C-alpha cells in the first residue's frame, strides 16, 4: 500500500526523510553494464551497434539498415491514424508558439569607460534526440525534444529510437516527419547514446544529446557528458498533487495514476489538509485500477512509491513541496496562483482544478522533459536555451584599456601571473612592476 503520513505524527520527519531518500531505481549492475557497452561502441563502432541491437531489440540489421531511409519513414508514418496525426499537428503548433517566445536577446553596449561589451546567442550545430521505444512509444517526446531545437536553429537533428522486433511506431515516425528530423536511426539504449556521442562509420556524432530513457540510457548520458552536452539525467517520472477536499477524489486519483502508469519506479504523491479526502482518493485509485490497461504497472508504482501526506495547514504544504521538488506539481486549490508563488522548486506547475498534468504532457505548450529526482532544486525543463550557447564580446580602444589596465595589472601581479601583466602593460608602453 502507499505510505500514509501526517505532519502531526511524531515520526513524520523520519518517515518523510526516508521517503525523499528512497532510491526508486537500484540496479547496481547498470553502470558497469553501460560502461562496457559504451566502450564497445567506441572500439568497434557499427559492429557493436549491430550486436547490441540484436541482443536488446531482437532484430538483426546491417550497417546500411541502421539509418532509416526516407521511404521507410514515410511508409511507417502513413499507417498512423489520421485523427492522431491531426492531434500531433495541434500539439506541434502550440509547442512551437510557446518555445518561439523563449528566444533570448543578445546584448551589445558600451559602458561609461568606453569598453564595448556584449553577448551573442548561437544555435548548436547538431543535436541527438533520444526517443523511448520500449514499454511505451512516445510521439509526444519527438515534438518536445525536436521543436525547441528547431526554434533555436539547430542545423542537424538526429533521432535515435529503438525498434523492438524491428517494429516502428507509426505515430512516432509521423511526429518525426512533422518536425523535420534530418536523420533517424533504429537504435536504442546505451549503445545509441554512445553512437550519438562518439560516432561510428554510419552515425556522425552530435554536440548534445537530449531526451528521456530508462536507467541504461540515463547512465549512458551521464557517462558521455563532457564529450557531448546533455540536457539532464532523467529518472523515473513523478507527480505531487496538492488538493483540498473541494475536489472530486476520482479526478485527483486519475491524476496520480497518470504518472504511476509510466513505470513501476514512478512516484505519485498526494498532499492534502483533509484526512477523509485522502481516504477517498485512495479508494478512487483502487477503482481506477480495476479498469486501466496498464494497471499492473500503475499499481506497483503506487504501492511501492506512492504516498498520501496529510498536513495541518497549507503553510506546511508549501514547505513539503519544496523539499520534494517534484517534476510535476498540480495545485488543485481555490487560489493556486497564490500557492504557486510560495513554491521555489518544481519542474512544472499546473494551476487549478482543470489543469491536469496530462494536458502539459501533450498539448499545453511548455516542455514535458523536466527535472526529476529532486533536481528541480537546480535544474529546469528542456527549452530553446538548451540548444543554444552564448559567447561574450569585449572590445577596448586605447583609452578604455588605459583606464582599466592598471587595476588588471595589479591583480595579475598579485596572482603571480607575470605574462598576464605583461600583455596589459606592454600596450601602455611600460613594463609591469617588479
In this structure, are strands 208-210 and 183-185 parallel, antiparallel, or unpaired?
Answer: unpaired
Structural domain that includes position 81: 30-232
Chain Cα centroid distance, residue 129 = 11
Q: Which amino acids are annotated catalytic?
A: 327-328
Same domain, 11 and 152: no
Quote the pLDDT of residue 280.
98
Same domain, 221 and 240: no
Q: 102 CB contacts (<8 Å, ≥6 apart)?
A: 148, 151, 383, 384, 385
Whole-angstrom distance, CA of residue 431 vs CA of residue 434: 9
Q: What is the pLDDT of residues 291-303, one digit of tens each?
A: 999 999 999 999 9
Same domain, 88 and 74: yes
For 95-121, what is the mean pLDDT? 97
pLDDT band at 215 (very low <50, low <70, confident <90, very high): confident
Place of cell 541527438: 128
For 246-258, what is the mean pLDDT? 98
CATH number of the domain enclosing 254:
3.40.50.1980
> Mapped to the 3 state alphabet, what secondary structure does 398-411 carry?
HHHHHHHHHHHHHH
Quote the pLDDT of residue 235.
82
Q: Where are the alpha helices (DSSP H) in 153-228?
A: 170-179, 189-198, 215-224
Helical (H) or strand (E) element with 251: helix 249-260
Whole-angstrom distance, CA of residue 343 vs CA of residue 319: 8
Query: pTM for the full model?
Result: 0.93
For 81-88, what is the mean pLDDT? 97
Count of CB atoms situated within 10 Å of the CB of 202:
19
Where a domain ends, among 198, 215, 232? Answer: 232
Whole-angstrom distance, CA of residue 64 vs CA of residue 52: 16
199 domain-assigned: yes
382 domain-assigned: no
Whole-angstrom distance, CA of residue 420 vs CA of residue 434: 14
Same domain, 119 and 267: no
Same domain, 250 and 212: no
388 domain-assigned: no
* Contact by Cβ (8 Å): 413, 421: yes
Amino acid at each position: 500500500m502507499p505510505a500514509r503520513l501526517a505532519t502531526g505524527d511524531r515520526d513524520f520527519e523520519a518517515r518523510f526523510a526516508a521517503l525523499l531518500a528512497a532510491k526508486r531505481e537500484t540496479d547496481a549492475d547498470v553502470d558497469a553494464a553501460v560502461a562496457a557497452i559504451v566502450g564497445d561502441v567506441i572500439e568497434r563502432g557499427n559492429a557493436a551497434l549491430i550486436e547490441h541491437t540484436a541482443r536488446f531489440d531482437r532484430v538483426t540489421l546491417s550497417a546500411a539498415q541502421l539509418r532509416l531511409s526516407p521511404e521507410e519513414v514515410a511508409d511507417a508514418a502513413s499507417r498512423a491514424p489520421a485523427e492522431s496525426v491531426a492531434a500531433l499537428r495541434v500539439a506541434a503548433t502550440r509547442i512551437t508558439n510557446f518555445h518561439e517566445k523563449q528566444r533570448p536577446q543578445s546584448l551589445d553596449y558600451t559602458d561609461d569607460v568606453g569598453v564595448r561589451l556584449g553577448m551573442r546567442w548561437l544555435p548548436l550545430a547538431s543535436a541527438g534526440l533520444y526517443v523511448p521505444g520500449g514499454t511505451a512509444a512516445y510521439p509526444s517526446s519527438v515534438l518536445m525534444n525536436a521543436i525547441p531545437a528547431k526554434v533555436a536553429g539547430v542545423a542537424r537533428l538526429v533521432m535515435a529510437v529503438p525498434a523492438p522486433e524491428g517494429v516502428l511506431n507509426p505515430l512516432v515516425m509521423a511526429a518525426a516527419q512533422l518536425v523535420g528530423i534530418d536523420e533517424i536511426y533504429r537504435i536504442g539504449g546505451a549503445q545509441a547514446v554512445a553512437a550519438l556521442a562518439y560516432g561510428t562509420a554510419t552515425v556522425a556524432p552530435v554536440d548534445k544529446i537530449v531526451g528521456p530513457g530508462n536507467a541504461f540510457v540515463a547512465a549512458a548520458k551521464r557517462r558521455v557528458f563532457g564529450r557531448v552536452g546533455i540536457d539532464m539525467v532523467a529518472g523515473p517520472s513523478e507527480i505531487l498533487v496538492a488538493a483540498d477536499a473541494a475536489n472530486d477524489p476520482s479526478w485527483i486519483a486519475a491524476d496520480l495514476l497518470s504518472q504511476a502508469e509510466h513505470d513501476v519506479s514512478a512516484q505519485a504523491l498526494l498532499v492534502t489538509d483533509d484526512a477523509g479526502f485522502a481516504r477517498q482518493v485512495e479508494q478512487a485509485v483502487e477503482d481506477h485500477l480495476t479498469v486501466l490497461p496498464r494497471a499492473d504497472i500503475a499499481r506497483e508504482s503506487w504501492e511501492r512509491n506512492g504516498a498520501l501526506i496529510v498536513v495541518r495547514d497549507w503553510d506546511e504544504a508549501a514547505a513539503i513541496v519544496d523539499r520534494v521538488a517534484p517534476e510535476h506539481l498540480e495545485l488543485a486549490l481555490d487560489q493556486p496562483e497564490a500557492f504557486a508563488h510560495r513554491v521555489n522548486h518544481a519542474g512544472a506547475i499546473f494551476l487549478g482544478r482543470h489543469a491536469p498534468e496530462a494536458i502539459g504532457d501533450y498539448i499545453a505548450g511548455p516542455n514535458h522533459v523536466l527535472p526529476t529526482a529532486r533536481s528541480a532544486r537546480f535544474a529546469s525543463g528542456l527549452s530553446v536555451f538548451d540548444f543554444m550557447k552564448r559567447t561574450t564580446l569585449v572590445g577596448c580602444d586605447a583609452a578604455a584599456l588605459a583606464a582599466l589596465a592598471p587595476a588588471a595589472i595589479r591583480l595579475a601581479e598579485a596572482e603571480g601571473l607575470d605574462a598576464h601583466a605583461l600583455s596589459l602593460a606592454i600596450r601602455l608602453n611600460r613594463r609591469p612592476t617588479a
